[in-house]
Amino acid sequence: MFRSKLGVLVILVTVSAGLAAACTTTTGGTASPSTAGSSSATGSPSADPEVPKVSAPLDASKYVADTCALVPKDVLASLGMPETGTFQPKGDTLFTKAGPNCAWKIRGQGTGVLVSLGTGSRDAGSGGLAGLYAAYRAKTLIRFLEHAPDVDGYPAVYWGPLDERRMGSCGIGVGIADDLTFDVYAQGYQGADDSCGAANQVAASVIKTLKGA
């Protein structure tokens, strides 16, 4: 059950990557082409003034082949997670088009976290927070989108296929470049505070890893 729900998140990132490039605004419920310049195939960010900009981009290229290494072992241990996660590289399936990802699960409890690096969305021309905003406004599969506290100075939003925070599932996307995000999805916790707290803790550790801290 845990893997299938995390798969929904990865599929959502993939679908939003494809649809956001085509439709970025809605007027009267009808999607309209963007006049502000949606992300192109080269990964240039949207000019939408509401999308937070990333002032100090981080290079995540070394983690494309080892996304599990983004989360330190001490952080995993503090959450009760195993040291070893399940890695999936970017591929051609619905689960991997969004980019590489890694999932950790507490055996027998249905509690776990997933980290996805949105290189696939970036390569499709809909990367970064701009891609999430565009998909949300185009009324694709994203069900909620609201600002989260900055993660160590990097802009973030809560989002997901459904708003299940009260039920213990929380998704957060963090912009590390104008055309690139990483996403953290936490599931199986006790309510919004625990699930979003876990997601934010993992997200903060990813930023520290990327900074080389």
Per-residue pLDDT tens for 56-91? 999 999 999 999 999 999 999 999 999 999 999 998
**Do the domain assignments include residue 33?**
no
Across the chain, mean pLDDT equals 80
Note the pLDDT of residue 95.
67
Note the pLDDT of residue 28.
33
Note the pLDDT of residue 153.
95
**Do the domain assignments include residue 40?**
no
Query: Is residue 54 very low, low, confident or very high in pLDDT (cuts 50, 70, 90)?
Result: very high
**Do the domain assignments include residue 39?**
no
* pLDDT of 8 above 90: no
* pLDDT of 165 above 80: yes
**Do the domain assignments include residue 123?**
yes
**Do the domain assignments include residue 44?**
no
Mean pLDDT of 162-189: 92
Query: Is residue 203 very low, low, confident or very high in pLDDT (cuts 50, 70, 90)?
Result: very high
**Do the domain assignments include residue 187?**
yes
Mean pLDDT of 171-176: 96
Note the pLDDT of residue 93.
76
Percent of the chain with pLDDT over 90: 55
Q: Which residue has the higher pLDDT, 24 or 131?
A: 131
**Do the domain assignments include residue 94?**
yes
| DSSP codes, the chain | -HHHHHHHHHHHHHHHHHHHTT--EEETTEEE--SS----TT-PPP--TTSPP-SS----GGGSS-GGGGS-HHHHHHTT--S--EEE-S-SSTTTTT--EEEEEETTTTEEEEEEETHHHHHTT--HHHHHHHHHHTTSS--EEEEEEEETTEEEEEEESS--GGGT-EEEEEEEETTEEEEEEEES-SHHHHHHHHHHHHHHHHHHHHHT-
**Number of folded domains that form the chain:** 1
* pLDDT of 31 above 60: no
Query: Residue 190 is part of which domain span?
Result: 2-25+58-211
Per-residue pLDDT tens for 177-191? 999 999 999 998 887
Mean pLDDT of 13-40: 33
**Do the domain assignments include residue 43?**
no
Query: Is residue 39 very low, low, confident or very high in pLDDT (cuts 50, 70, 90)?
Result: very low
